[in-house]
A and B are shown apart, each in its own frame.
Chain A
Amino acid sequence: MYIKAATAISPQHTVDGRLFTEGVTAWTGNKCYAAEPSYIEMIPRALLRRMNKAVRMGVGAGLMTLQGQGTQDGIVLGTANGGIDDSFKFLRQILEYDEGTLTPTNFVQSTPNAVAGSLAMMTKNTGYNITHVNYGLAFEAALLDAMMLFEEGKVQSLLLGGLEEISDHNFNMDLQAGWFKTDEVNDTELFAFQTAGTVKGEGATMFVIDDDPEHALAQVLAVDQMNFATQLTLQDRVAQILAEHAVSREEVALMVGMNGDARHDGWYHEFLDAFDQQTVYSFKNLVGEYPTATAFAVWLATELFAREEVPQEMVLRGSHTPPKFLLIYNHYKAKQHSLMLLRNPRV
């Protein structure tokens, strides 16, 4: 399974490549909002007006990725919450108007499958269509789903992606549950601050994946998920995955989902203790934490594979040269763990 095209709408200037030409955009506080492109050229105004941020970012990133890529056999997405802000808007309507006459737009646009549905409708794609919503494993489930579709011989090319939006209500829920920092942090200090909680991010990342290796940006070799992980089972699984694909530990660079939460970053530190020479990359200091942030990690991998020089902020340990293989380890709220192994087709 090969990645042929990739687009990320994120808190960094990732759409126009300025992340690499001008460097990382600094942020402060505990929310990293996406730097959205203009959608006017892509999405008809009448549709755009009704779209919430998640739908807008997802559809926008999807359409950008599809440009010049021919037709796809299906759309496979991951999002924990989709257009959750519209859900709250609809809840507010219900309460304010005491279940009176309400407008359906918020309701219809709030369903997480609205992005895959809109993309199917706008590109006339009647193929396989699904939306996985299992929190921090939603994108990983999408990736596995896609992998099985290729194995089954059902598809040759797919649109695959992950997205999430920051909604005030959702942020407030997780804030009250202690998941976000309340002290003033910024991008350079995220990992240094020894406090509980992280910062909330958002974005939409889309890929065209194909069974044809020509002009591929990356090859997806493996995706795996774990509940009730321990360091021991994690390392076992890593060894298994590497062995299955005949990859030696020395050939692998690592990317970890460290997010500055002093309570749970230990998972990453301990994980990295098992590797001493390998270069290690980070991504949540660029885009914040959100359930499908690993989709952004995969996008970043395609860039690391292609670029000789990258901003220092992405390199957590060692020095950058385009790696031959990249192993991404992430956990969400220390419960849902995932591993993804990618190959650089250029090396």
Chain B
Amino acid sequence: MIKVVVTGRGAISAIGNNVAENRQRLITGQTGLSKASKYFTSKFTESHPFGEIKMSDEEMLSSLAVPEMKGLTRTDLIAFKAFEEAIQEAGLDSDTLSHPRTGFISGSTVGGMVLTDQVFEDGSNRAQRTAFLESYDYCSHTLRIVEQYRIHGFTNTINTACSSSANAIMMGARLIRSGRADRVIVGGADSLAKFTVNGFNSLQILSEDLCRPFDANRKGLNLGEAAAYLVLESEACAKGKKIYGTVSGYGNSNDAYHASALSEDAVGVIACMQAALDHAGLEPAGIDYINAHGTATENNDLTEITGLGKLFGEHLPPFSSTKSFTGHTLAAAGALEAVYSLMSMEHGELYASLNCEQPISPLDELPIAAYQEQQEINAVLSNSFGFGGNCTSLVFKQHL
């Protein structure tokens, strides 16, 4: 069996413009969520906290190694930023990136829809310029990266809503295991957009307060923006490189219950976690930390904690929702939280879940209350659940 290892990581979110900055904020316990967003314009920015990346589009463009490119949306820009960091860490040169056995799989739910007003104008035949006409699709950011880095191997974009990049990681690992690829860069990107903010508000799950994952009195989610990528390589190709962990298990299932809510009995949630554990050859007791989906909506957290209770019972390991730092970054969440899961193993540390005081009954389990170091973390489970009933769990292990 080919082992799939992680040799590079890139991340940009509300708590940092690179992986190291993200980690620093997880250690100090400072959320990236706040009201009065600087770059995102919406009626909701005064009343609602968002997890905004602390960089303007212009700053982002000038910080990138790519030459002048036209028609880049914020989704594209943050994707480039995290992608660059990941390939640099893994030491992938341009020949390796263009090698037919190097692939790229990304997820996005907003894509170019970030330009809400402009999309509408252009779609109504009132395009002022043509640079953006092909920037609006879910896969636009993927195609830009493919074009820029001349990726000749397998390329793909996945949209399973909020589990998109978790599925990108899963598919990348499967491609390598099947022998079809030697390395695949996997992850996702989503920027803050009026489209999603109004969408979640219309569903009445957008909170005016800081989100409180797994608190009995939670009031909904905060949206954030992020991009995160991992470089996955077969163990043979990674020889001599620093390895941040292995992708050891994955499970994908559908809850088959409701278009925008999870079932009370957590069918899909349990099925994907169980499949991921089975695939990794682990019993529940073998998991040392769970990076939960934990959006802080009434429905998600109740279902997730129910599923965790049923599957883990008395072996429930420490768990947290880092969305209390970053907000829900939609398609990017799976990959961003994969980066956090790998950091947790590398440094032997556990990250807190902020703003949780009162546990959800009847399980009455509180998430990690404060940062903890000097822990032995050998295996981490990371959950991602999305609209349409799409559930995906990933298991990362220490590389031995």
A interface with B by C-beta (< 8 Å): 75, 80-82, 87-88, 90-95, 98-99, 101-104, 107-109, 111-114, 116-118, 120-121, 123-135, 137-138, 141, 144-145, 148, 151-152, 168-170, 172-177, 225-228, 335
Contact = CB atoms under 8 A, between A and B. Distances in A.
B2 to A, nearest CB: 12
Interface stretch (B88-96, B237-245, B252-260, B332-340): B252-260
A108 B390 contact: no
Helix, strand, loop or mixed for chain B's interface?
Answer: mixed
Given A104-B199, A104-B202, 8 more contacts: A81-B137, A116-B254, A118-B388, A121-B256, A121-B257, A126-B268, A135-B137, A174-B133
B256 A125 contact: yes
Contact of B109 (A80, A104, A111, A169): A111
B51 interface: no
A132 B124 CA distance: 27
B137 A80 contact: yes
B203 A132 contact: no
Interface string B137-158: 1110011001000111011111
Contacts of B73: none
Interface of B: 42-44, 109, 113, 116-117, 119-120, 122-125, 127, 130, 133-134, 136-139, 142-143, 146, 150-152, 154-161, 167, 171, 174-175, 178, 180, 194-195, 197-199, 201-203, 252-260, 267-268, 271, 386-390
Name the residue among B43, B117, B137, B388 with the largest chain A CB count within 10 angstroms: B388
B125 A176 contact: yes
Those 6 A-B pairs whose CB atoms lie nearest each other, nearest first:
A117-B388, A169-B123, A107-B199, A129-B254, A104-B202, A120-B254
Contacts of B139: 80, 133-135, 138
Contacts, number: 201
Given A113-B159, A126-B271, A75 B119 contact: no
Contacts of A95: 116-117, 120
Contacts of B203: 104, 107-108
Nearest to A88: B123
Contacts of A90: 195, 198-199
Contacts of B143: 135, 335
A144 B125 CA distance: 37
B157 A134 contact: yes
Contacts of A123: 256
Contacts of B122: 172-173, 176
Given A111-B159, A126-B253, A94 B194 contact: yes
A94 B156 contact: no
A133 B258 CA distance: 22
Contact of B123 (A99, A121, A138, A170): A170
A145 B171 contact: yes
B124 A169 contact: yes
A99 B201 CA distance: 9
A111 B195 contact: no
A244 to B, nearest CB: 13
A169 B353 CA distance: 42
A194 B14 CA distance: 51
Contacts of B254: 75, 116-117, 120-121, 125-129
Contact of A111 (B151, B167, B387): B387
A99 B44 contact: yes
Given A94-B116, A111-B161, A176-B125, A126 B256 contact: yes
Contacts of A168: 123
Given A126-B253, A133-B139, A228 B150 contact: yes
A170 B113 CA distance: 12
Nearest to A140: B156
B256 A124 contact: yes
Given A113-B159, A173-B136, A228-B152, A87 B113 contact: yes
Contact of B158 (A131, A148, A177): A131
B259 A121 contact: yes
B112 to A, nearest CB: 10
A120 B155 contact: no
B160 A118 contact: no
